[in-house]
Amino acid sequence: MPYKKDALSYHSGGRKGKIEVVPTKPVDTQHDLSLAYTPGVAEPCREIAKNDDAVYEYTIKGNLVGVVSNGTAVLGLGNIGPHAAKPVMEGKGILFKKLADIDVFDIELNAPTADEVIRTVQALEPTFGGINLEDIKAPDCFRIEDELKRTLKIPVFHDDQHGTAIICGAAFLNAIELTKRDIAHVKVVFSGGGAAAMACANIFISIGVRPEHITMCDTKGVIYRGRTEGMNEYKERFAIETSKRQLSEALDGADAFIGVSVAGALSGAMISKMAAQPIIFAMANPDPEILPEEALAHRSDAIVATGRSDYCNQVNNVLGFPGIFRGALDVRATQINEQMKLAAMYSLARLAKEPVPQSVCDAYNGERFEFGPRYLIPKPVDPRVVLWVAPAVAQAAIISGVARKPISDIEGYRSELAERLGDQTPTAKLTARTTSLSAPTGASQVLR
Report the DSSP pairing between strands 221-222 and 256-259: unpaired
Q: For residue 423, what pLDDT is reported? A: 54
What is 317-435's CATH topology? Rossmann fold (3.40.50)
Q: Can you tell me the distance from the alpha carbon of 80 to that of 71, in angstroms, rounded to the nearest whole number?
A: 6
Q: Say if residues 415 and 390 touch (Cβ distance below 8 Å).
A: no
Q: For residue 204, what pLDDT is reported? A: 98
Q: For residue 286, what pLDDT is reported? A: 84
The rounded average pLDDT for each run of 10 residues, N- to C-terminus, in the chain (448 residues) is 83 93 94 95 97 97 98 91 97 96 98 98 98 96 97 97 97 98 98 95 98 97 96 95 97 98 96 98 94 97 95 95 98 98 98 96 95 97 96 98 97 96 51 40 32
Q: For residue 2, what pLDDT is reported? A: 62
Who's near 236: CB < 8 A, 6+ residues apart?
none
Q: For residue 437, what pLDDT is reported? A: 42
Cα–Cα nearest to 209, from 249, 258, 142, 243: 258
Q: Can you tell me the distance from the alpha carbon of 312 to that of 241, in angstroms, rounded to the nearest whole number?
A: 36
Q: Say if residues 189 and 250 touch (Cβ distance below 8 Å).
A: yes
Q: Can you tell me the distance from the alpha carbon of 435 to that of 448, in angstroms, rounded to the nearest whole number?
A: 14
Residue ranges of the alpha helices (H) in 182-274? 195-206, 233-236, 247-250, 268-271
Q: Give SS3 for 433.
A: helix
Q: Which residues are catalytic?
A: 37, 92
Domain boundaries, the chain: 317-435
Q: Can you tell me the distance from the alpha carbon of 427 to that of 447, in angstroms, rounded to the nearest whole number?
A: 25
Amino acid (one-letter) located at 70? N
Cα–Cα nearest to 321, from 132, 108, 62, 169: 132
